[in-house]
Amino acid sequence: MPTKSPLTPVVDKTVAQHNALINARFSFVPLEMRLFISLLTRIEPGDEQFREHFVPMAEIIHERTGGSAYEEVKQMCNNITSRRLYIEKLVDTQQGARKRSKKPDFEFIPLMAKAAYESDRGGVVASFNPLIMPYLLQLRESGNFTLAQLEQLNKLKSFYSYRIYWLLKEYATFKERTITIAQLRFLLDLQEGEYPRFNNLRTRILDKAQDEMQQTDMPFTYELQKQGKVVSEVKFLLAAPDEATVMPTKSPLSEAPAWTQTLAEIGVGKRSLAVISRQLKAGEYDIDYIAYVVRIIGGQFRKGKIKKPAGAVYKALIEKYLFTDYQQAKATAATKKPTAEEPTATLEVAFRLSEVQAMYDNPGPYAQRHKRADTFEQHLQQVYLQDGFVLEQRDGTQWLVKHGVG
C-alpha cells in the first residue's frame, strides 16, 4: 500500500522566530537559507531541546542533481557551521520569561551545532546550536515572536528577500516599518564594500525583494527619506489586509466594549483590536491590564518618550512586556487596607479623565474613518457613562471608573 512520500512539502506549516533573531545580524547563501528553513519547520511548539534532523537533498537543491550539486551541499555544510549570529542578549526574569532590554548587549553565537552531508542517505544531518534555544524554542512562554507560513517562505529565492520578509512580517500589524540605511546594512550583514552606491542596493536588494514578495502575503511598496541629497531611511509600506473579515460588521464600534473604543481612539486598528480580543478571551490577561497599559503608555507619550502611542499600546499588550509590572502593582494594591473612601471591589477598569480628554482632543488616524461626538461631554456620555463608568475623585485627580468588571 503506497505511503505518503517523506519529501512531500507541508505547505501549511507555521514557523516561528523570536523578534531578537529577526533583528540579528547574519547572512546566508541560498542553500544555507534552505537548510535553515528546513530545520525551522521541524521544530515543534513543545520542544524543549534541539534535536538532530535529517534533511533530504530535495529540500536543499531544487533545480539540479548530480555530482556538482552534491559537492555544493558538502561545501554548504562546511560553511554554515562557521556562521555566527550577532544577536542581542535576552534578560531572564524572575518568572522565567526571556525579555528584550531597552539597551541590549550583543554577542556572537554560532548558529549550528552540526551540519554533515551523508551520501548514503542522500541528505544532510544537522542541528542548531543549543545557545540559540531562547530564540527558537518555547516562544509562547516568553512572547515577543513572529509567525510565518512555510508556503510563503518557499516563494522567496533571495536571502535578502527572506530577511526583508521577516523584518516586515514582524511589523505586519502596524502596516509600515521605517529602517535607516545604516540599520538595513547592519541587519543584512552588508560589508563596507558591498553596494556602496545606494542605487545598486536599491536595484539588487530592495527592488528584487519587492518583486519576489509581491507573490507572498507580504507585498510592499517603499518610500525613500532623504537628508539633503542622501537617502537616509527606507519606509516600507505594507498592503492593508481585508479588515472587513477581521471584525464582523454586526458588531459596530458603537456597540463595542469601552476598552475597544478607548484603544480605537488612540489609533489602534481593527485588525489589532481583534488580536487583543482573542487574547482577552484566551485569558492571557484581564481587562485591567489594558487600562494599566493605556495609563503607562499615555504618561510616556505626554512626556515625549514615544511618538506613536497606538503602536506602543498594541506592542505592550500582545507582547505583555508590562505584565510583570502590572501584577506587582496589583499585588501591592491588594495588600492595602480599604478605607471608608476606598471601594473594596477587586475588579475595576479605571482611566484618568485627563488621558481620556487627551485622546479625544488628539484622536489619531482612526477618528478619520469613524464619526465621533461633537463635544467631549457627549463623548463621555456615549462611550463611558452609558457603559457603566462613573466619575470619581482620587488623590485630587478625576477618574472614570467601572466597578465589578467580570
8 Å CB contact between 197 and 246: no
- Record the pTM: 0.59
Q: What whole-number distance in Å separates Cα of residue 166 and Cα of residue 209?
A: 12
Phi, psi torsion values for 31, nearest 5 degrees: -65, -40
**Distance (Å) of CA 257 to CA 277, 285, 388, 397:** 10, 16, 11, 24
Q: What whole-number distance in Å separates Cα of residue 358 and Cα of residue 368?
A: 16
Interval 42-100: pLDDT, tens? 999 889 999 999 999 989 987 655 568 888 999 999 999 999 999 999 887 766 667 78
Cα dihedral 230, 305, 309, 316 in deg (nearest 10): 110
Grid cell at residue 317:
499588550
Q: What average pLDDT score do residues 243-269 get?
A: 57
Cα dihedral 359, 365, 371, 373 in deg (nearest 10): 20
8 Å CB contact between 233 and 179: yes
Interval 160-180: pLDDT, tens? 999 999 999 998 888 899 999
Give me the CATH topology for the region 155-240: Arc Repressor Mutant, subunit A (1.10.10)
Q: Hey, where are the domains in the chain?
A: 7-149, 155-240, 243-403
Alpha helices in 61-197 (DSSP H): 67-80, 139-142, 150-153, 159-169, 181-187
With a cut of 60, say whether residue 356 has pLDDT above it.
Answer: yes
Q: Is 331 exposed, middle or buried (0-12, 13-18, 19+ CB in 10 A)?
A: exposed
* Closest to 140 measured CA to CA, from 97, 87, 196: 97
Interval 101-152: pLDDT, tens? 878 899 999 999 999 999 899 999 999 999 999 999 988 776 688 999 999 9
pLDDT value of residue 315: 87
Which residues make beta-bridge pairs with 350?
A: 401
pLDDT value of residue 392: 83
| CATH number belonging to domain 7-149 | 1.10.10.10
Q: What average pLDDT score do residues 266-282 get?
A: 82
Of the pLDDT bands very low, low, confident and very high (cuts 50, 70, 90), residue 365 is very low
